[in-house]
């Protein structure tokens, strides 16, 4: 069952928890649920799974939302010792922190752990073996990866039609780092793309073309970027603590950028305009 089948049409926008203020995170999540967000993204490395869990339980306990209406995902962070047993250990802790019986999606946070450049392929295989077992046990609904290139995915699961082929790849994607080739490769294999940092850490808000289009459509620069993602079949993972900004993101899918403007936005793509922490600039090495 794909994400599209589960949702009767994939969620257009997700809500990310990276960098949220811990003191106000519970209120932020409750506001997001009230505004219509249903996909919530966290990670072991964010150290806030317990806060997300507490907030969504409050929403469920007060009748705001049912568990089956939510899509909760978190990520396994590759640390030493890295492998099969550690994947089980981290998953158990994440499940306990969230206070859930199952997680909708569990992702490997990055393909190449630090200090494991020479052995990461086989270690990823072992982590993926644990993921598959957890899925068979009903603890995970969808398996996924984050920041993976094509060859990293192929090495995990050679059989494209396997029930364990990654369902999700979460990538840095925004108009100035579009990853078109990787997006198309994933699309051909039925992998749903999620895009983190859809505003390029705020840099897009000052881009001349983005601002020109914002004026043309009567929208904000942020809404132009998020709409661009949605029209490219990318689920943007947005994040905000201000209720007006949260609402602004949710309203980004109520208009369409014209084809000519989408083509103009292709022209601002830059292979170097991204956060170089995933060794993408050395992609031929790994």
Q: With pLDDT > 90 as the criterion, what percentage of the chain qualifies?
A: 77
242 lies in some domain: yes
273 lies in some domain: no
Instruction: Kindly report the backbone phi and psi dihedral angles of residue 272, in degrees, each rounded to the nearest multiple of 5, phi listed first.
Output: -95, -10
Give the CATH number of the domain where residue 90 resides: 3.20.20.100
pLDDT at 89 over 50: yes
227 lies in some domain: no
Cβ neighbours, 10 Å, residue 21:
11
Q: For residues 108 and 127, is the Cβ–Cβ distance under 8 A?
A: yes
* 239-259 residue pLDDT tens: 999 999 999 999 987 889 999
272 lies in some domain: no
Number of domains in the chain: 1
Q: Quick one: pLDDT at residue 161?
A: 72
The mean pLDDT value for 70-94 works out to: 93
The mean pLDDT value for 124-130 works out to: 95
The mean pLDDT value for 264-273 works out to: 86
The structure tokens 């103009």 sit at 264
Q: For residues 141 and 103, is the Cβ–Cβ distance under 8 A?
A: yes
Model-level pTM? 0.93
Strand partners, 143: 106
- State the chain's mean pLDDT as an integer: 90
**Is residue 7 very low, low, confident or very high in pLDDT (cuts 50, 70, 90)?**
very low
Q: Quick one: pLDDT at residue 2?
A: 44
The mean pLDDT value for 125-131 works out to: 96
277 lies in some domain: no
What is d(CA 257, CA 217) in angstroms, rounded to the nearest whole number? 8
Sign of CA dihedral 27, 30, 239, 88: positive
Q: Quick one: pLDDT at residue 254?
A: 82
pLDDT at 124 over 80: yes
156 lies in some domain: yes
Looking at 7-21, 26-40, 53-67, which range is the least confident one? 7-21
Cβ neighbours, 10 Å, residue 156:
24
Q: Quick one: pLDDT at residue 273?
A: 67
Burial of 245 (0-12, 13-18, 19+ CB in 10 A): middle
183 lies in some domain: yes
pLDDT at 8 over 60: no
**Is residue 269 very low, low, confident or very high in pLDDT (cuts 50, 70, 90)?**
very high
Between 272 and 119, the more confident residue is 119
pLDDT at 50 over 70: yes
274 lies in some domain: no
The mean pLDDT value for 63-70 works out to: 96
In 140-276, beta strands by DSSP E: 140-146, 168-172, 192-196, 234-238
Active-site residue set:
46
Sign of CA dihedral 236, 76, 109, 200: positive
**Is residue 10 very low, low, confident or very high in pLDDT (cuts 50, 70, 90)?**
low
* 95-118 residue pLDDT tens: 999 999 999 999 999 988 777 778
pLDDT at 282 over 60: no
* 153-193 residue pLDDT tens: 999 987 777 889 999 999 999 999 999 999 999 999 999 99
Q: Can you give the residue range of the structural domain that contains 25?
A: 3-202+233-254
């Amino acid at each position: 069952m794909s994400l599209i089948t589960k949702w009767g049409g994939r969620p257009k926008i997700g809500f990310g928890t990276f960098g949220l203020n811990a003191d106000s995170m519970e209120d932020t999540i409750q506001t997001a649920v009230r505004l219509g967000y249903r996909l919530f993204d966290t990670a072991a490395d964010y150290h806030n799974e317990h806060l997300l869990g507490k907030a969504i339980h409050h929403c469920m306990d007060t009748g705001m939302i049912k568990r089956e209406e939510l899509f909760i995902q978190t990520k396994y962070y590759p640390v030493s010792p890295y492998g099969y047993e550690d994947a089980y250990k981290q998953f158990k802790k994440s499940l306990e922190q969230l206070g859930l019986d199952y997680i909708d999606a569990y992702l490997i946070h990055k393909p190449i752990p630090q200090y494991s450049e020479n052995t990461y392929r086989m270690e990823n295989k072992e982590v993926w073996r644990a993921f598959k077992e957890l899925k068979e046990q009903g603890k995970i609904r969808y398996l996924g990866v984050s920041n993976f290139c094509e060859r990293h995915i192929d090495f995990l699961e050679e059989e494209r039609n396997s029930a364990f082929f990654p369902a999700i790849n979460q990538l840095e994607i925004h108009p100035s780092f579009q990853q078109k080739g990787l997006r198309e490769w994933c699309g051909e294999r039925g992998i749903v793309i999620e895009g983190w940092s859809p505003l390029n850490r705020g840099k897009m808000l000052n881009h001349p073309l983005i601002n020109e289009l914002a004026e043309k459509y009567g929208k904000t620069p942020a809404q132009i970027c998020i709409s661009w993602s949605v029209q490219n079949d990318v689920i943007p993972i947005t994040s905000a603590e201000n209720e007006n900004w949260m609402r602004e993101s949710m309203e980004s899918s109520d208009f369409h950028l014209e084809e000519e403007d989408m083509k103009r936005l292709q022209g601002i793509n830059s292979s170097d305009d991204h956060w170089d922490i995933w060794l993408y600039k050395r992609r031929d090495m790994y």
